[in-house]
């Protein structure tokens, strides 16, 4: 069972990816995690990627796919995996498809967690973080006992720059321009499945389980 998670930043696809991984006993693979692991372990692929990252450049698609294929060739991926954060663009999806086809393999499902932009802006701008102990809250869904104060350590809570409405709007614009075309790409391949990401987390997961059943 080889799954790609699609959805805008803040749609909750990462949370769902972790839940799928736990439920079905397959690895949750984030490209950011793979890059960090390869660089930390000093692998040949990691050192090659680091050259680009140190210059502030994007790692080329072909190298990213090579690092990804190296990861999915490992023993824990024999029953499948959940990809989170890759592919982000049509060229990446095409390179991945070609590489998997050479191995006689393919993606089984591309699951799109669909949430309207206005919901995402509200969801993310309601987040609050404690920079002292790392605890996170949401002013609507998981509020602290005392407004603006961390329950755990008593430090002041902040709205991180990443979660400010103007930053979220910019990230959504990039998503719609670069990543949303993947929905059409996987739709044409017949592997796209869309779930309503505005529903409670457990209901979204139930919908995904029904797709994978």
The DSSP annotation for 83-125 comes to EES---SHHHHHHHHHHHHHTT----EEEEEE--HHHHHHHHH
* Domain residue limits at 72: 2-115+179-212
Answer yes or no: is 194 within a domain.
yes
Is 95 a residue whose pLDDT tops 80?
yes
The residue annotated as part of the active site, out of 71, 123, 127, 128, is 127
**Which three-class secondary structure state does DSSP give residue 48?**
helix
Answer yes or no: is 98 within a domain.
yes
Answer yes or no: is 85 within a domain.
yes
Bridge partners, 193 (sequence order): 111
Answer yes or no: is 17 within a domain.
yes
Is 65 a residue whose pLDDT tops 80?
yes
- Assign 83 a pLDDT band (cuts: 50, 70, 90): very high
The residue annotated as part of the active site, out of 2, 71, 88, 128, is 88
CA geometry: angle 173, 176, 182, nearest 5 deg:
155
Sheet holding 127-130, edge to edge: 136-138, 127-130, 157-158
**Has 127 been annotated as catalytic?**
yes
Closest by Cα among 24, 6, 18 to 79: 24
Answer yes or no: is 164 within a domain.
no
pLDDT at 178: 84
pTM above 0.85, yes or no: no
Tally of domains in the chain? 1
Going by DSSP bridges, is the β-strand pair 81-84/127-130 parallel, antiparallel, or unpaired? unpaired
Is 58 a residue whose pLDDT tops 80?
no
Q: Write the CATH number for 11.
A: 3.40.50.300
Is 79 a residue whose pLDDT tops 80?
yes
Bridge partners, 5 (sequence order): 84, 111
pLDDT at 73: 87
Answer yes or no: is 77 within a domain.
yes
Structure tokens that stand for 29 in this block? 């693979």
pLDDT at 13: 92
**Has 177 been annotated as catalytic?**
no
Report the pLDDT averaged over residues 191-208.
96
Q: What Å distances lie between residue 122 and 39, 134, 147, 175, 206, CA to CA? A: 36, 21, 18, 17, 24
The residue annotated as part of the active site, out of 160, 169, 177, 189, is 160
- Assign 139 a pLDDT band (cuts: 50, 70, 90): very high
pLDDT at 5: 96
pLDDT at 194: 97
User: CA 171 to CA 169: how far, in whole Å?
Assistant: 5
pLDDT at 113: 96
Answer yes or no: is 29 within a domain.
yes
User: CA 19 to CA 26: how far, in whole Å?
Assistant: 10
> In this structure, what are the phi and psi dihedrals at residue 50, rounded to the nearest 5 degrees?
-60, -35
**Has 13 been annotated as catalytic?**
yes
Answer yes or no: is 47 within a domain.
yes
The residue annotated as part of the active site, out of 2, 13, 123, 128, is 13
The residue annotated as part of the active site, out of 50, 66, 164, 171, is 171
Is 162 a residue whose pLDDT tops 90?
no
pLDDT at 53: 83
Map tokens 């709007």 to a residue.
169
């Amino acid at each position: 069972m080889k799954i790609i998670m699609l959805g805008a930043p803040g749609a909750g696809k990462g949370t769902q990816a972790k839940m799928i991984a736990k439920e079905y006993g397959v690895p949750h693979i984030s490209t950011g995690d793979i890059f960090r692991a390869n660089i930390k372990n000093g692998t040949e692929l990691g050192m090659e990627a680091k050259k680009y990252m140190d210059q502030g450049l994007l790692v080329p698609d072909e190298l990213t796919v090579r690092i990804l294929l190296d990861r999915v060739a490992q023993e824990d991926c024999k029953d499948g995996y959940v990809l989170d954060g890759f592919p982000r663009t049509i060229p990446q999806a095409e390179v991945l498809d070609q590489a998997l086809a050479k191995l006689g393999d393919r993606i089984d499902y591309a699951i799109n967690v669909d949430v309207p932009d206005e919901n995402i802006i509200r969801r993310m701008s309601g987040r609050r973080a404690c920079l002292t102990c790392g605890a996170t809250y949401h002013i609507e869904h998981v509020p602290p006992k005392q407004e603006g104060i961390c329950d755990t350590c008593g430090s002041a809570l902040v709205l991180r720059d990443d979660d400010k409405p103007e930053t979220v709007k910019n990230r959504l614009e990039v998503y719609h321009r670069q990543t949303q075309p993947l929905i059409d790409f996987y739709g044409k391949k017949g592997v796209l499945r869309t779930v309503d990401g505005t529903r409670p987390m457990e209901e979204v997961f139930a919908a995904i389980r029904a797709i994978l059943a």
